[in-house]
Amino acid sequence: MKIIRIAVTILSLVPTFLSAGEIVSGEACYRFSDQDSIQAAKDIALSMAKREALEGYSVFVESTSTVQNFTLKNDLISSLSVAVLRKMKITKQTEDLENRTICTAIRAEIEPFEIKQRVTAAINRFRQQNMNIQTGLPESSWGKVLKAEEVVWRERDVLRVVVQCKNNYRKSRGTKKVRVIYYDTDGIPSGQRKDGEYCDDKGDILVYHLGFPTNKNFTYSFELVD
């Protein structure tokens, strides 16, 4: 009986430990123009207060200490202020219509581990998107091969090719193709396969599956078709 009581006691503490957060607060004032409505001004003041709460939080400051890119840091603050501020309450809001100023103060709960996790993931994505990844694989004017491997796909042996788009190529400009050429034992081309996908936006990741011949006595090469 003693063992059972101890187990129950420990388990009852786990949810409390996992859900533990820290309290942050922020306050900001927005001076609005004639073009701003009162509600729009309130929304802006609230966003500024959220930003202030996040930028003043020590874990966020430490996690982003190596981030030098202004755009990345700004995007991080914008996304995190929406995603990680829990149980947010507006603790004070004042309107000074004569001076066209609205001030807002907030209080919210935040989880340190989630902040670190999200910041690390965003930094890694940014680095991958902006690094010139040297793969030693084919590259053309429209795309760069990131990975190529032989796999089984839909019960067939295929060449799986992962390509990153270099630019925006809408449907009106046609698909972007990968071609694999097969050679017989004498090194003579004996056939080919082509697969096409659309590059809707720069940075899109396209995945191609190019089937192999049933005859196993072959070699192959592949290329991006401009």
Residue ranges making up the domain that contains 77: 15-130
Residues 89 and 157 both lie in one domain: no
Tell me, yes or no, whether 5 lies in a domain. Answer: no
Q: What are phi and psi of 213, to 5 degrees?
A: -65, 155
Question: How far apart (Å, rounded) are the C-alpha atoms in residues 101 and 28?
Answer: 10
- The pLDDT of residue 1 is 37
Chain centroid, CA 113 distance in Å: 18
The interaxial angle of helices 38-55 and 70-83, nearest 10 deg, is 100
Structure tokens given for 187: 């090194």
Residues 119 and 38 both lie in one domain: yes
Along the 226 residues of the chain, how does pLDDT read in single tens digits? 333 333 333 333 333 334 468 899 999 999 988 888 889 899 899 989 998 988 888 888 887 877 767 767 777 777 777 778 888 999 999 999 888 899 999 999 988 888 888 888 777 766 655 555 455 678 898 999 988 888 999 888 899 999 999 887 766 567 899 999 988 877 788 899 999 998 888 888 999 999 988 877 778 888 998 7
**Number of domains the chain contains:** 2
Q: What are phi and psi of 88, to 5 degrees?
A: -70, 135
Question: How far apart (Å, rounded) are the C-alpha atoms in residues 146 and 138?
Answer: 9
Structure tokens given for 15: 């949810």
The answer to whether the beta carbons of residues 192 and 107 sit under 8 Å apart is no
Amino acid identity of 101?
Answer: T
Spatial CA neighbour of 163 closest among 137, 181, 182: 137
Residues 83 and 104 both lie in one domain: yes
Residues 148 and 113 both lie in one domain: no
Find the CATH number of the domain harbouring 89: 3.10.129.140
Residues 112 and 213 both lie in one domain: no
Question: How far apart (Å, rounded) are the C-alpha atoms in residues 73 and 61?
Answer: 11
Last residue in a domain, options 71, 105, 130 = 130
Amino acid identity of 81?
Answer: S
Residues 125 and 32 both lie in one domain: yes
